[in-house]
C-alpha cells in the first residue's frame, strides 16, 4: 500500500475535524473561535498539517 501524501493526510484531518465539529454540536461561530484560538486562523483550508493536528487535539480534549 502506498504511503499517504502530505495533502492526503491534510485532507483526511480536515474531514475528521468537520466530523468532530458535528459530533460536538459546534455552531460555526464557536467552531471558528476554536480554530482562531488554537492556530490564529479561521479556516482549515489555510492550515498546514501541524496546525490541523493541534486543532484535532483540541477537539479530542473537548470530547470528540
Residue-level pLDDT at 2: 78
Q: At residue 50, what are phi and psi to the nearest 5 degrees? A: -60, -40
Task: Assess contact for 35 and 44: CB atoms under 8 A.
Answer: yes
Task: Assess contact for 42 and 35: CB atoms under 8 A.
Answer: yes
Residue by residue, pLDDT tens for the chain (64 residues) are 679 999 999 999 999 999 999 999 999 999 999 999 999 999 999 999 999 999 999 999 999 9
45: cell is: 483550508
Residue-level pLDDT at 1: 67
Task: Assess contact for 19 and 7: CB atoms under 8 A.
Answer: no
Please, which residues have CB within 8 angstroms of residue 19's CB and are 6 or more apart in sequence?
Answer: 64
Amino acid at each position: 500500500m502506498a504511503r499517504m501524501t502530505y495533502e492526503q493526510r491534510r485532507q483526511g484531518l480536515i474531514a475528521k475535524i468537520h466530523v468532530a465539529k458535528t459530533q460536538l454540536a459546534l455552531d460555526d461561530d464557536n467552531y471558528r473561535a476554536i480554530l482562531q484560538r488554537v492556530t490564529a486562523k479561521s479556516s482549515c483550508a489555510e492550515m498546514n498539517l501541524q496546525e490541523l493536528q493541534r486543532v484535532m487535539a483540541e477537539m479530542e480534549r473537548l470530547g470528540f
